[in-house]
């Protein structure tokens, strides 16, 4: 893969793309115009609608004998209500208004009421049939003869005068705005009327004010206006941002794939001495650049629009850093959607075919985002691994101000893994020349088993395997979390790291020796690995952790995990669980399949990427740097010694020493880890000296005869 060729293809594609006026309009100009036009238009419509509704009188039909006190109250309080007497009511309605009692209040059934009793022999309680008054009021409101109906039940004035409880009923249509407004106006006015009547009764009986109320309940919303507006914006904005940003990639990817097939230029490109990875690299960079610029235009237009809206309101102010973080959160989403669109669009024979392909893909990507607007859906450890939805919830959390550091790391890590898998699959499509020329392939051809044994994984295979294992391991460990900690750890290590790798290697006929570095190491390399295993934890704890110290709560949680809660477990069993098992399973996966797959990239890219994936797999921001450092050490051990046994020894010793120190604490041996922020410099420098000695021994040790020639 030649970077110069990729950049050449990128420049060619980006120039052709920017010459397309449709792409420029939909990707850049439309977002700039859309947010101001949409927000100002909706605001104007809403403002006009509210003003009209406030100025409009609510027509309320009054049925029954309303007392003069009630009529005077409704008139003098100026509640924008026009009272109309009953007209042309049926005889049965008039009879019920003159003689009937108010309808009884229906008891609301509460689910999960512990005090509720059930009698199996009793008949079910049926609601009474609708009364003539209810049916007549329903017709009057639905036929818009009145916005609401106020029913004054018989004896209203007498009950008020005698100190009894009088009854009123309001019938309205909750679907119609005018009817809801009439109900709200009547409700507020009648509440004030009732309060005034209670005060009058208290005065007549020489009771202290508030006697009938007994308890004054005051509700105070502690949520700041900024948070309330952020919640509203965060419920709708992520969906709109992701859809508009992703939409910009549809036209570009179609033009770069199906468009080239229509213009018969794809064949010319394939005839050139280029690797398919170089072709997709250039095309992907061009498409992603356009999508990124579209996302930037969306976020910038959004920020300018909200700044204009918030100018008159002093309490409403979204910090600029929120928009910056929103843009960075969109990076993995745009990466993923661009790779998916590019991989799908290449199957199309022409632009029309491509639109038929990408339309359902776009719907499949964006429709799940609607759940982010539902109440109670927020960013958690579980939702941080849901593709696309995790980024939408992260943006929502940024606007509310509730995005936690650990969840941000999990979300961006999982989103980056999905983006990586999408790009790997797209690259695999571009390796199929038959598809590139407009042909089709069956599913069997995509998962065909190699006919010959030997060889090692490709970088594409290694990265795709990590992405799949990473997601499966996370959700699988959630399923195992109902078990005890030991079962969860053993199931995750052997079920999600070791077993899939061995089955894949067997299915793909990889060479076990080359893939997993199953060679006998030199004694000098083994000694160096032991020294590194005994000292690496001190270097990580004394130097690396100083750069990003973990919170005390996390340190105590780690200590509790290593102690297996309050279980009394012998030290050898703890070593087997926390030292030997990770040393075997994680090394087979990361320093075996992944490192061998990346070997053709060279020593430092292969070790760097494999150790980064090793750090991401531990799913913790505060463990990222220590595990990255340890992963690089273990990778170098395998690379230089030619044997995975060296990294297994160092990994097991490093984990085992920390586990031993934690288990000796209850006996008063050694310092308590939870009470130490970082290791003292004396221990750190001693560990560094031992670690450097171990590296020197491994570096100068003789390599096995059958080691790869590029491992030196």
Q: Classify each residue of 202-238 as buried b or exposed e, where b means 16 or more C-beta atoms within 10 Å of its C-beta.
A: beeeeeeeeeeeeeeeeeeeeeeebbebbbebbbebb
pLDDT at 565: 66
pLDDT tens readout for residues 252-294:
888 888 787 777 777 677 677 777 777 778 888 888 888 888 8
Please determine, for residue 152, whether its predicted confidence score (pLDDT) is greater than 70.
yes
Distances from the Cα of 263 to the Cα of 23, 24, 429, angstroms: 18, 21, 20
Tokens of 93: 């309605």
Please determine, for residue 440, whether its predicted confidence score (pLDDT) is greater than 60.
no
Instruction: Tokens 């309605």: give the residue.
Output: 93
- 647 band by pLDDT with thresholds 50, 70 and 90: very high
DSSP per-residue string spanning 604-656 = HHHHHHHHHHHHHHT--STTHHHHHHHHHHHHHHHHHHS-HHHHHHHHHHHHH
pLDDT tens readout for residues 399-422:
887 778 888 888 888 888 888 888
- Beginning with the edge strand found earlier in the chain, give each strand of the sheet holding 58-63 in spatial order: 81-85, 58-63, 148-152, 168-172
What sections of 493-623 are H helices per DSSP?
499-507, 512-516, 523-539, 545-547, 552-562, 571-575, 581-586, 595-598, 603-617
Please determine, for residue 633, whether its predicted confidence score (pLDDT) is greater than 90.
yes
Looking at the domain covering 53-102+131-204, what would its CATH class be?
A: alpha beta
pLDDT tens readout for residues 325-365:
888 888 888 888 888 888 888 777 777 777 888 888 888 88
The domain spans of the chain are 53-102+131-204, 454-461+505-712
Q: How far apart are the C-alpha atoms of 606 and 137, rounded to whole Å? A: 77
How many CB atoms neighbour CB 82 within 10 A? Answer: 13
Q: How far apart are the C-alpha atoms of 692 and 681, rounded to whole Å? A: 16
Mean pLDDT value across residues 421-449: 65
Q: How far apart are the C-alpha atoms of 624 and 618, rounded to whole Å? A: 8
Please determine, for residue 314, whether its predicted confidence score (pLDDT) is greater than 60.
no
Q: How far apart are the C-alpha atoms of 262 and 268, rounded to whole Å? A: 12
Q: In this predicted structure, which of 30-34, 339-343, 378-382 has the lowest mean pLDDT?
A: 30-34
Task: Judge whether 673 and 518 are in contact, CB under 8 Å.
Answer: no
- 33 band by pLDDT with thresholds 50, 70 and 90: low
Q: In this predicted structure, which of 18-32, 74-88, 335-349, 436-450 has the lowest mean pLDDT?
A: 436-450
pLDDT at 215: 78
Tokens of 116: 């509720």
Mean pLDDT value across residues 371-395: 84
Q: In this predicted structure, which of 3-7, 164-168, 656-660 has the lowest mean pLDDT?
A: 3-7
Please determine, for residue 690, whether its predicted confidence score (pLDDT) is greater than 90.
yes
Q: How far apart are the C-alpha atoms of 137 and 680, rounded to whole Å? A: 82
Residue 79 backbone phi and psi in degrees, to 5: -95, 15
pLDDT at 447: 57
Q: How far apart are the C-alpha atoms of 580 and 585, rounded to whole Å? A: 9
Please determine, for residue 463, whether its predicted confidence score (pLDDT) is greater than 50.
yes
Q: How far apart are the C-alpha atoms of 396 and 402, rounded to whole Å? A: 9
- 435 band by pLDDT with thresholds 50, 70 and 90: low
Task: Judge whether 712 and 703 are in contact, CB under 8 Å.
Answer: yes
**What's the predicted TM-score (pTM) here?**
0.70
pLDDT tens readout for residues 94-128:
888 787 777 665 434 434 444 444 444 444 444 55
Please determine, for residue 180, whether its predicted confidence score (pLDDT) is greater than 60.
yes
pLDDT tens readout for residues 518-555:
999 999 999 999 999 999 988 888 887 777 777 777 77
pLDDT at 652: 94
Mean pLDDT value across residues 222-235: 71
Q: Which residues lie below 8 Å from residue 212, measured CB to CB, with a gap of 6+?
A: 198, 201, 202
pLDDT tens readout for residues 285-309:
888 888 888 888 878 877 777 766 6
Tokens of 443: 């599913």
Tokens of 17: 């793309």
Mean pLDDT value across residues 123-152: 78
Instruction: Tokens 């929120």: give the residue.
Output: 322
Please determine, for residue 313, whether its predicted confidence score (pLDDT) is greater than 60.
no
pLDDT at 693: 94
């Amino acid at each position: 893969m030649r970077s110069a060729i990729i950049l050449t293809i990128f420049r060619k594609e980006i120039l052709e793309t920017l010459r397309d006026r449709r792409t420029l309009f939909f990707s850049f100009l439309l977002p700039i115009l859309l947010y101001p036009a949409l927000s100002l238009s909706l605001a104007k419509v809403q403002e006009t609608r509210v003003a009209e509704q406030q100025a409009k009188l609510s027509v309320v039909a009054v049925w029954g004998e309303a007392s003069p006190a009630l009529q005077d109250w409704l008139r003098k309080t100026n509640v924008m209500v026009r009272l109309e007497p009953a007209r042309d009511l049926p005889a049965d309605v008039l009879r019920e208004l003159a003689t009937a009692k108010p309808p009884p209040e229906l008891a609301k059934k509460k689910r999960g009421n512990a005090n509720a009793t059930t009698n199996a022999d009793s008949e079910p309680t049926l609601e009474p049939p609708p009364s003539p008054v209810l049916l007549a009021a329903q017709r009057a409101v639905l036929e818009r003869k009145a916005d609401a109906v106020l029913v004054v039940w018989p004896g209203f004035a007498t009950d008020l005068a005698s100190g009894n409880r009088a009854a009123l009923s309001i019938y309205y249509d909750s679907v119609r705005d005018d009817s809801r407004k009439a109900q709200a106006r009547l409700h507020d006015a009648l509440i004030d009327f009732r309060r005034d009547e209670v005060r009058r009764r208290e005065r007549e009986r020489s009771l202290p004010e508030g006697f009938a109320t007994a308890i004054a309940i005051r509700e105070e919303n502690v949520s700041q206006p900024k948070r309330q507006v952020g919640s509203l914006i965060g419920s709708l904005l992520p969906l709109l941002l992701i859809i508009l940003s992703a939409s910009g990639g549809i036209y570009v990817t179609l033009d770069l794939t199906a468009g080239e097939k229509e213009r018969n230029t794809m064949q010319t490109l394939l005839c050139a001495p280029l690797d398919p990875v170089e072709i997709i690299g250039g095309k992907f960079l061009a498409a992603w650049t356009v999508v990124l610029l579209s996302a930037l235009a969306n976020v910038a237009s959004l920020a300018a629009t909200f700044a204009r809206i918030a100018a008159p309101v002093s309490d409403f102010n979204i910090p600029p850093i929120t928009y910056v973080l929103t843009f960075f959160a969109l990076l993995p989403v745009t990466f993923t959607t661009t790779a998916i669109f590019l991989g799908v669009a290449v199957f199309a024979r022409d632009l029309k075919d491509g639109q038929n392909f990408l339309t359902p893909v776009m719907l499949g990507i964006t429709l799940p985002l609607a759940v982010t607007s539902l109440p109670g859906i927020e960013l958690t450890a579980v939702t941080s691994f849901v593709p696309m939805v995790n980024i939408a919830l992260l943006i929502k959390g940024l606007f509310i101000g509730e995005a936690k550091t650990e969840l941000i790391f999990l979300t961006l890590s999982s989103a980056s893994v999905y983006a990586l898998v999408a790009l790997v699959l797209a690259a695999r499509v571009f390796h199929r020349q038959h598809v590139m020329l407009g042909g089709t392939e069956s599913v069997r051809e995509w998962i065909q088993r190699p006919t010959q044994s030997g060889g090692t994984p490709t970088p594409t295979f290694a990265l795709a395997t990590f992405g799949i294992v990473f997601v499966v391991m996370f959700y699988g460990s959630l399923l195992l979390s109902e078990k005890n900690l030991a079962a969860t750890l053993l199931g995750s290590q052997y079920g999600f790291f070791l077993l899939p790798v061995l089955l894949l290697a067997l299915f793909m006929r990889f060479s076990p020796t080359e893939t997993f570095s199953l060679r006998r190491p030199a004694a000098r390399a083994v000694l160096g690995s032991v020294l590194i295993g005994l000292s690496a934890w001190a270097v990580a704890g004394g130097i690396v952790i100083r750069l990003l110290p973990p919170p005390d709560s996390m340190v105590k949680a780690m200590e509790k995990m290593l102690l297996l809660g309050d279980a009394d477990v012998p030290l050898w069993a703890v070593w087997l669980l926390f030292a030997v098992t990770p040393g075997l399973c994680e090394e087979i996966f990361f320093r075996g399949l992944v490192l061998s797959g990346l070997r053709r990239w060279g020593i430092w890219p292969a070790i760097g990427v494999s150790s980064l994936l090793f750090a991401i797999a531990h799913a913790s921001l505060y463990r990222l740097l220590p595990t990255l450092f340890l992963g690089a050490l273990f990778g170098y051990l395998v690379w230089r010694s030619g044997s995975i046994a060296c990294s297994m020894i160092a990994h097991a010793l490093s984990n085992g020493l920390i586990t031993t120190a934690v288990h000796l604490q209850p006996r008063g041996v050694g310092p308590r880890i939870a009470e130490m922020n970082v290791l003292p410099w004396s221990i750190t420098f001693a560990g560094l000296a031992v670690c450097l000695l171990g590296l020197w021994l491994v570096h100068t040790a003789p390599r096995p005869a059958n080691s790869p020639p590029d491992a030196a």
